[in-house]
């Protein structure tokens, strides 16, 4: 029902914007598509000039015919929509209100005012429609930068085809300055890309052979070849576009409230207008019907809720667009509201606060050269696929090629044993040393980071510490969250000592390690039971259940798994923790603008309603106030799109 209702509203807006009929909606507002309205205004201007400039009014029924032609030119689409709604027994809407008010003005001989009200109302609708279309287009334009053609290498030659025709496994060639059309892995040695469309960051991102490149990135410096790993419709950019487009359909609580409010408010003001017309009959002497009927018409015009109904969703479109420009995707305007109420941010450690890439931090040796120790460790670890071993191999580089490795045995939960150039080498944790009765310094047990202890021919020779590097902006992100009086919590599957060390460096309020996925769920549920409004930030598959449980689930979209990104309510494209704060700020800016519009519209309407009932305001003041408030609210909402975070 909600979807059908929205569809009907969209059709009706299209009719207003086009100044035509339901079968001829015009997507873009233009002068030519509104020629009827412009002609109506010209006729009104000429008639007012004759009346007030030359003191001439065409005799009846000539003046009625001229004004009624002008009235139909500017308002026949509104009358048509009022009729469509009336046959569905929907009388309490802006189209019906305007039709009654303007036809009423004609009934009492106020022809010029009837035309003016309809013309100015239609102008307001025109500008409202243009602003909404512009907001929607700007949101899509932020990300819809997919090229229409791509160079693909087939049978040794380069052919230009539509990206939709490229299959997984094919190689595409991207020249400097061109946009990457499809996701894939770089097979050239290296290249630099501008990732602003995806992440909001203009800083070049250098990629090496084998690294992933996404559609939407711009090649900066050299011809690059990329092996495609997803179809055009399945690319990260295509999925982002779908998320953003879907976001405009998911209404915030404020939008839903205003929609419900308008349905109650409009019948009330309609009843009050009837009361303004007829109740004075019992209290005023002499009672002049035309005077009180005119005041009731003023009441109807100013009561039109269009300023609220249009400017508020426009504000949320602006908020979604603002966040998108900063590399943050809200999957619905409702989540902009949710982020303003968050009081606790729970974060995963690896991939969220840390880079998710293990690096060698320190090498400590005993009776052996440092370079030889790392060569030995890397040579034996090259036989393993464990991330810790890969970090050691990467650090050593190609120097291990000269060593002969044999009889490698993996001891589960301990490490590796093997022979290198005839020597027995052990590389693993301290449990491996204990298993083979090898003595090592007691201080090794106190090291909080992951370590690879190395022994040669039953003798301890040193250790290598491996750690996941903390992201550059993680500390600043936590600091900014604390400034907003938001509690920070870190959850991780890593050992508690490592988690405590990271929490200490970042000044995180609470940190819990040694957690399985269900343990993370339990911790978040416990916080929710305390009445806290929680945003959870994660990137792994095991984070998806917690992301779904939180009030606002935030996924790191660069490193994040597909499951987590699909489950999340908000996606941070460049994996920066500082964007959590940016998302909160975008929500608060949007909320402030929306409430400014609500207060402005209601205050002006109440004042003019009172003046109209008292006979001070005329239909001219009523329509100018109504359209003026709507335009001010629209300009205020559009302002969001120009703001910087």
Q: How far is residue 205's CA from residue 149's CA, in Å, rounded to a whole number?
A: 23
CA separation for the pair 447, 434 (Å, rounded):
16
CB count within 10 Å of CB 541 equals 14
Enter the DSSP assignment of 399: G
- Which residues make beta-bridge pairs with 425? 418, 456
- Residue 510 three-state SS: strand
Torsional class of 211: left (φ above 0), alpha (ψ -120 to 50), beta (otherwise):
beta
Quick one: tokens of 57?
């009014």
Q: Are 316 and 252 in contact (CB under 8 A)?
A: yes
CB 322 within 8 A of CB 643: yes
The one catalytic residue among 337, 348, 468, 551: 348
Residues sharing a CB contact under 8 Å with residue 592, sequence separation 6 or more, in sequence order: none
Alpha carbon distances (Å) from 332 to 178, 182, 243, 291, 317: 31, 26, 8, 48, 10
Spatial separation of the C-alpha atoms in residues 311 and 131, rounded to whole Å: 9
Scanning the structure block, which residue is given the tokens 């109650």? Answer: 264
**Could you tell me where the beta strands, DSSP code E, fall in 88-217?**
150-154, 157-161, 171-174, 184-186, 190-194, 205-208, 212-213
Backbone angles phi, psi at 573, to 5 degrees: -75, -30
Token couple for 61 = 């029924």
DSSP alpha helix (H) spans, 492-577: 496-506, 517-529, 544-549, 562-567
Token pair in block for residue 496: 């508690």
Asked whether 228 and 169 are in contact (CB, 8 A), the reply is yes
Q: Is the peptide bond before 286 cis (omega within 30 degrees of 0)?
A: yes
| Burial bucket for residue 459 (CB in 10 Å: 0-12, 13-18, 19+) | middle
Among 132, 124, 123, 145, which Cα is nearest to 28's? Answer: 132
* Distance from the first to the final alpha carbon of the chain: 37
| Residue 575 falls in the annotated catalytic set | no
Which pairs count as long-range contacts for 61-70, CB under 8 Å and 24+ apart, including other chains? Answer: 63/111, 64/106, 64/111, 67/43, 67/106, 67/111, 67/112, 67/114, 67/115, 68/106, 68/111, 69/43, 70/39, 70/40, 70/43, 70/44, 70/115, 70/119
Catalytic residues, by residue number, are 348
């Amino acid at each position: 029902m909600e979807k059908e209702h929205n569809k009907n509203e969209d059709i009706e807006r299209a009719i207003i914007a086009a100044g035509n009929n339901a079968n001829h909606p015009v997507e873009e507002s233009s002068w030519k598509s509104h020629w009827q309205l412009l002609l109506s205004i010209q006729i009104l201007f000429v008639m007012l000039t004759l009346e007030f400039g030359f003191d001439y009014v065409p005799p009846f029924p000539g003046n009625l015919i001229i004004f009624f032609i002008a009235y139909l030119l500017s308002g026949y689409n509104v009358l048509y929509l009022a009729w469509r709604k009336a046959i569905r027994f929907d009388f309490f809407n802006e189209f019906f209100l305007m039709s009654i008010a303007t036809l009423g003005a004609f009934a009492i001989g106020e022809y010029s005012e009837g035309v003016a009200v309809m013309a100015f109302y239609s102008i307001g609708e025109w500008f409202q429609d243009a602003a909404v279309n512009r907001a929607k287009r700007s949101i899509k334009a932020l990300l819809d930068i997919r090229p229409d053609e791509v160079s693909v290498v087939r049978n040794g030659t380069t052919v230009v085809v539509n990206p939709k025709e490229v299959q997984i496994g094919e190689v595409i060639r991207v020249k400097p300055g061109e946009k990457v059309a499809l996701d894939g892995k770089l097979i050239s040695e290296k290249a630099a890309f501008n990732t602003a469309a995806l992440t909001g960051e203009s800083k070049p991102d250098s990629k090496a052979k084998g690294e992933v490149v996404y559609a939407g990135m711009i090649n900066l410096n050299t011809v690059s070849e990329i092996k495609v790993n997803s179809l055009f419709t399945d690319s990260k950019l295509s999925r982002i576009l779908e998320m953003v487009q879907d976001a405009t359909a998911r209404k915030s609580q404020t939008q839903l409230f205003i929609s419900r409010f308008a349905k109650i408010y409009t019948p009330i003001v309609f009843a009050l207008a009837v009361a303004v017309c007829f109740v004075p009959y019992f209290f005023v002497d002499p009672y002049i019907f035309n005077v009180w009927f005119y005041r009731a018409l003023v009441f109807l015009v100013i009561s039109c809720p269009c300023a609220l109904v249009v400017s508020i969703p426009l504000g949320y479109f602006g908020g979604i667009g603002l966040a998108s420009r900063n590399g943050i995707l809200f999957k619905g305007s409702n989540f902009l509201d949710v982020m303003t109420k968050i009081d606790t941010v729970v974060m995963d450690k690896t991939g969220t606060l840390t880079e998710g890439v293990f690096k060698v931090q320190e090498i400590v040796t005993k009776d052996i050269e440092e370079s030889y120790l790392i060569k030995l460790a890397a040579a034996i670890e090259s036989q393993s696929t464990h991330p810790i071993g890969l970090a050691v191999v990467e650090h050593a580089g190609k120097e291990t090629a000269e060593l002969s490795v044999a009889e490698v045995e993996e001891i589960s939960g301990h490490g590796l044993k093997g022979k290198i150039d005839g020597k027995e080498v052990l590389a693993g944790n301290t449990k491996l040393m204990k298993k083979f009765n090898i003595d090592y310094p007691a201080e090794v047990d106190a090291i909080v980071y992951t370590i690879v202890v190395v022994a040669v021919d039953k003798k301890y020779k040193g250790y290598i510490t491996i750690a996941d590097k903390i992201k550059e902006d993680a500390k600043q992100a936590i600091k900014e969250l604390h400034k907003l009086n938001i509690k920070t919590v870190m959850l991780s599957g890593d050992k508690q000592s490592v988690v405590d060390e990271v929490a200490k460096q970042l000044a995180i309020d609470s940190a819990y390690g040694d957690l399985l996925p269900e343990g993370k769920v339990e911790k978040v549920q416990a916080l929710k039971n305390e009445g806290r409004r929680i945003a959870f930030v994660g990137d792994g598959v095991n984070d998806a259940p917690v992301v779904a449980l939180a009030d606002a689930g935030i996924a790191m979209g660069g490193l994040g798994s597909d499951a987590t990104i699909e489950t999340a309510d908000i996606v941070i494209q460049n994996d920066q923790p500082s964007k959590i704060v940016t998302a909160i700020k975008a929500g608060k800016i949007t909320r402030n603008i929306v409430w400014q519009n609500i207060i402005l519209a209601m205050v002006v309407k109440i004042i003019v309603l009172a003046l109209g009932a008292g006979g001070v305001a005329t239909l001219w003041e009523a329509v100018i106030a109504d359209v003026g408030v709507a335009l001010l609210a629209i300009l205020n909402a559009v302002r969001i799109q120009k703001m910087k975070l």
